[in-house]
A and B are shown apart, each in its own frame.
Chain A
């Protein structure tokens, strides 16, 4: 009973945040809405007994990635003239919604065929750090290592891209 209310609250916040992201003109406003969405999602993860993911969402996504994005937005010193003049924004958004609606309905129809199941909070054996860690390092070791290489590549890439200097005369 508590859970349903929490779910509803988090869900509404998430959707509102997403809508805000799509609608706001200045990216900073959009980023802030997006943070709201991310935090609500973290709450939803908690409701799904995904304790580690809940924590990681807050730390990595809302904490690291969004702060990086916000940092870059502020770093670029965006002037109103830099932003694109999107007069027809609303038209496009409504058109986009129209186009996307069939996709959503299709996915919803698929979801409808799934069997019902409960979402009661599970105990310590599910979703905790230790359990996920064991799974990660036992069954998912190779993907784990590959992802670490991926992160290394992106690190190097980011350094190379951002570190481009002008040609020395």
Chain B
């Protein structure tokens, strides 16, 4: 049944959120975001199967393209942050304080 795929998608998505809010390592945060995107992809493809239409596949492709683009940029930023402070802790960057 399709519901199991959707429940799995929900579980993966929630695990992704947990990863974003509870970890301080920039790589872990970034990869948790990718995890969330993948969970969404799974939901797209599952619904495409339900409706037997391939729009979901196309959208999944778009998501993948976006994820790739975002991965490139995010990693560039991570490199710059590391060059700046040589630390990979998100708590180090706290200029918004106050």
State the A residues within 8 Å of B (CB): 7, 11, 14-15, 18-19, 21-22, 24-25, 27, 30-31, 34, 37-38, 41, 44-45, 48-50, 52-53, 56-57, 60-61, 64-65, 68-69, 72-73, 75-76, 78, 82-84, 86, 89, 92-93, 95-97, 99-101, 103-104, 107-108, 111-112, 114, 116-119, 122, 126-127, 131-132, 135-136, 139-140, 143, 147, 150-151, 153-155, 157-158, 161-162, 164
3 pairs of A and B residues whose beta carbons are closest in the complex = A27-B27, A154-B69, A84-B89
List 17 interface pairs A-B (beta carbons < 8 Å), by A numbering.
Answer: A11-B4, A18-B15, A22-B19, A27-B88, A48-B5, A57-B41, A60-B64, A61-B67, A82-B87, A84-B89, A86-B25, A93-B22, A111-B6, A127-B57, A132-B57, A135-B54, A161-B76
Q: A84-B91, A154-B73, A157-B73 are in contact. Are A72 and B78 (CB under 8 A)?
A: yes
B25 near A140 with CB under 8 A, answer: no
A78 near B3 with CB under 8 A, answer: no
Interface residues on B, range: 35 or more
A84 near B57 with CB under 8 A, answer: no
B15 near A95 with CB under 8 A, answer: no
Kindly list chain B residues whose C-beta atoms are within 8 Å of the C-beta of A153. 69
B96 at the interface (CB under 8 A from A): no
- Chain A binding surface SS class: helix
Complex Cα distance, B65 from A79, in Å, reads 32
Kindly list chain A residues whose C-beta atoms are within 8 Å of the C-beta of B7. 108, 111
State the B residues within 8 Å of A (CB): 1-8, 10-19, 21-25, 27-28, 30-32, 34-35, 38, 41-42, 45-46, 48-50, 52, 54-55, 57-58, 60-62, 64-73, 75-80, 82, 86-91
A136 near B17 with CB under 8 A, answer: no
A126 near B54 with CB under 8 A, answer: yes
B58 near A135 with CB under 8 A, answer: yes
Complex Cα distance, B82 from A35, in Å, reads 24
18 more A-B contacts (CB under 8 A) besides A48-B48, A69-B27?
A15-B12, A18-B12, A30-B31, A34-B35, A37-B38, A41-B42, A50-B48, A50-B49, A52-B61, A61-B64, A76-B88, A83-B25, A84-B91, A100-B14, A103-B17, A126-B52, A139-B58, A154-B70
